[in-house]
Amino acid sequence: MSTQMSKDVGCPHCGAAVRTQMWPGICAQENPELRARVLDETMFDWKCPQCGYTAQFVYPCLYHDRDRKFMVYVVPNGSGSEFRPVDVSEKFPQLAGVRKRVVSTPAELKEKILIFEAGLNDYAVELVKYALAGVLERKHGKKTIQGYFCSADEEEDQIRFTFFPEGRDQLVERSTRLEAYQKSLEIVRAAGIEEANSFLPVDSVTAKSLLEQYRGEEK
């Protein structure tokens, strides 16, 4: 179920108290227009009607796709409420088998939606992204700050990502063959990962430890 609330937010520029609509809960089926706003990256846009100041206003928000069975919890960094994994299985037994992820930015929420809507396994996608980021880093000698899944196309046999290398304004697009995803999926299966009962991050840190575990077992 989607939940809506409004709250006065102080404009950081002129100080005006701006009544602001917030959606602490988004259901993709109930409010497809909110799903569209997450995907076009306007969901958390905020504008002061007094002075025209614009900013992103990100607040804790739980996105739920009932049909595709996944939930993504946005917990912004520095929101004051440190994320603690919540065991939801006792309170919500109906959530067994639902993929539950935690992210800290709207861009990461969008990425999870794209991955799950494409029917992909996000652990395996993170492994492919981790490998491509490593190639980029070695090529440019710069750290990759962020990378995001964009799309996967079976006909073109491509899985695509965008990366933001350190010290560069422009994003870099990279793609590889779906074979890389299939191989990653084997690594994920070999690790025997099961859906947890709590909300977990699945990101580059997860990919790194999965890979280390896999290589450790290979030796």
Count Cα atoms within 13 angstroms, Cβ side, for 161. Answer: 28
Count Cβ atoms below 10 Å from residue 180 Cβ, excluding itself: 16
Q: How far is the CB of 176 from Zn ion (least distance, A)?
A: 45
Say if CB 205 and CB 211 are below 8 A apart.
Answer: no
Q: How far is the CB of 52 from Zn ion (least distance, A)?
A: 7
Q: How far is the CB of 78 from Zn ion (least distance, A)?
A: 22
How far apart, in whole angstroms, are the C-alpha atoms of residue 28 and residue 11?
30
Say if CB 100 and CB 71 are below 8 A apart.
Answer: yes
Stretch 5-64 residues interacting with Zn ion (CB under 5 A): 11, 13-14, 16, 48, 50-51, 53
Max CA pair span of the chain: 64
Stretch 188-207 residues interacting with Zn ion (CB under 5 A): none
Residue placing its CB nearer to Zn ion in the complex, 15 or 85: 15
Residue placing its CB nearer to Zn ion in the complex, 51 or 86: 51
How far apart, in whole angstroms, are the C-alpha atoms of residue 82 and residue 75?
8
Q: How far is the CB of 174 from Zn ion (least distance, A)?
A: 40
Q: How far is the CB of 105 from Zn ion (least distance, A)?
A: 24
Q: Binding to Zn ion by residue 151, rule CB under 5 A?
A: no
Residue placing its CB nearer to Zn ion in the complex, 12 or 85: 12
Q: How far is the CB of 44 from Zn ion (least distance, A)?
A: 17
Length of the chain: 219
Count Cβ atoms below 10 Å from residue 90 Cβ, excluding itself: 7
Residue placing its CB nearer to Zn ion in the complex, 14 or 145: 14
Count Cβ atoms below 10 Å from residue 175 Cβ, excluding itself: 19
Helix axis angle, 122-140 to 106-117, nearest 10°: 120
Residue placing its CB nearer to Zn ion in the complex, 9 or 200: 9
Say if CB 38 and CB 109 are below 8 A apart.
Answer: yes
Residue placing its CB nearer to Zn ion in the complex, 45 or 186: 45
Question: Where on the chain is the footprint of Zn ion (CB under 5 A)?
Answer: 11, 13-14, 16, 48, 50-51, 53
